[in-house]
Structure 1
Amino acid sequence: MKAKTLRAIHRDLGYLYVGLIISFAFSGILMNHRESWHPDKYVIEAKAIEVSLPKNKHSIDDAYVEKLAASLNVDDKLKRHMFRKGELRMSFENTEISIDAKTGKGEVISFIKTPLISQTMTLHKNTSNWWIYYSDIFGISLIVIAITGMLMITHGKYTFKKRGWKLAVAGVVVPVLFLLCFV
């Protein structure tokens, strides 16, 4: 393929996906830090609670959780509940409840979705079929953008053959080292 054609493909795909590239990059940075803070929501109220949980944690089902939430004045749609690190954790659309399984002490946290940030982060988490296919096309396009970027400069000291391959290798070495050392 000629350099002019590669440039055109690279340019047009870049223009087509510039908004999505920025959105994914922005939300990806936020998601990297979601264990430290919740960028997609902010707390409007947190209150301490103390309840008596059943000794048998297998008896804690959706019906029990919904009844418990109602007794705590939580009128919200249940998403899921689980035991994690000795706590009963209940997630609702706009509320989270955590209760220590031994002491019964816990907290009810009410929050509101952060405008724009929450919607942007949904792009990374969305699992609807059409979005998955669109994201797959986007991923393939990013591969094409990378390859055309490597091949479109054919003359001079900054070509892929003369200089670019060294940077590309460095770009691959860092994630490989991370995988080998930390995963």
Structure 2
Amino acid sequence: MNWCQPEFAFLIKWLKGVNWYRLNRTLHRDVGYFCIGFAIIFAVSGIAVNHVADWNPNYAVEQQVQAVDDRGWITLEDGQIAQNMLKTFALQQPVKSTFWKSQYKFEVFLDGGDALQWDRKASQVTYADVEPRVILQALNRLHLNETRNAWVYFSDMFAGMLIFLALSALFMVKGKHGPKKPKSMILMGLGVVIPIFFLLI
């Protein structure tokens, strides 16, 4: 390959004339703007999913407990017990399914996601009013790749852009605030050490 050919000579001349520092800053800025929406989606849903042990990120559940006179209920068919439980809270939703969770707990699932539980020992019925967290639910579906397969490619693209933003940031600033200065090295080091620390403890 002859690098002295006119087309290669033009390319080499063009590459030498590029202001790489300015180009890096421009790309870092534009890619950063493009990533704002992705970053908010993954950050908000990430916080929600991280605390799944403390709350339900997809549904808001409000519970009501009512004491009942359940004498004789145990002799009834499951469907009749379910109707008695519905009457306790004056509910009209159709029953989706029923089952005995244990010897003393009977559960009823209603259309729409709500549920009822009869506790024989405590003689009480609990009603769980379930409402979807529409926005969070949608964000969580994106975060967990529960949508179309095409979203996987967008997620991969976002990951690649984050890598670019991290690396291009090293060349954003010159002089006393550059990446070779002690403060910059310490901050970069912390970004590596902290994840390793949590892996080891």
- Structure-1-length-normalised TM-score: 0.64
After superposition, give the CA deviation of every residue in 1:147-176 in whole Å (9 maximum; x if it has no partner). 1111222x2211011132221111110110
* Aligned partner of 1:37 among 52, 55, 68: 55
Look up the match of 1:124.
143
**Structural mapping, 1:90-105, within 5 Å:** 94-95=113-114
Q: Equivalent residue for 2:32? A: 14
Relative contact order higher in (CA < 8 Å, ≥ 6 apart): 1
1:12–1:19 CA distance, 2 compared to 1 (3 A): same
* DSSP-derived class of the 1:10 partner: helix
Verify the 8 A CA contact 1:76 1:95 in the aligned structure 2: no
Q: Alpha carbons of 1:77 and 1:148: their partners in 2 closer, same or farther (altered >3 Å)?
A: farther
Q: Give, in whole Å, the separation in 2 of the partners of 1:98 and 1:11.
A: 55
d(CA) in 2 for partners of 1:119 and 1:7? Answer: 33
Q: Which protein shows a greater Rg?
A: 2
**Partner Cα distance (2:55, 2:198) in 1:** 23
Kept in 2, the 8 Å contact 1:47–1:108? The answer is yes
Q: Distance in 2 between matches of 1:96 and 1:25?
A: 31
Whether 1:27 and 2:45 are equivalent positions in the alignment is yes
Q: Do the aligned partners of residues 108 and 170 (structure 1) sit closer, same or farther apart at CA in structure 2, a change above 3 Å counting? A: same
Paired with 1:151 and 1:97, the residues of 2 have a C-alpha distance of 60
Classify 1:157/1:43 alpha carbon distance in 2 versus 1 (closer, same or farther; 3 Å).
Answer: same
Q: Shift in Å at residue 42 of structure 1? A: 0.6
Who is 2:3 aligned against? none
Q: Which segments of 5 or more consecutive residues in structure 2 lack a partner in the other structure?
A: 1-18, 67-73, 87-92, 102-108, 119-124
Q: Find runs of 4+ consecutive structure 1 residues off by over 6 angstroms.
A: 70-74, 96-99
> Structure 1 residues 135 and 75, CA, compared in 2 at 3 Å: closer, same or farther?
farther
SS at match of 1:112: strand
TM-score by length of 2: 0.59
Distance in 2, matches of 1:76 and 1:6, equals: 61
Cα distance in 1 for residues equivalent to 2:145 and 2:95: 21
Distance in 1 (CA, whole Å) between partners of 2:141 and 2:127 is: 24
Within the alignment, does 1:179 sit opposite 2:199 as a pair?
Answer: yes
User: Which of 137, 147, 155 is residue 167 of structure 2 equivalent to?
Assistant: 147
1:111-162 CA-partner distances (Å, limit 9, x unpaired): 1111322222222122341111110000001000111111222x22110111
Unaligned runs of 5+ in 1: 53-66, 84-90, 100-105
Q: Is the 8 A contact 2:63 2:126 kept in 1?
A: no
RMSD over aligned CA atoms reads 4.0
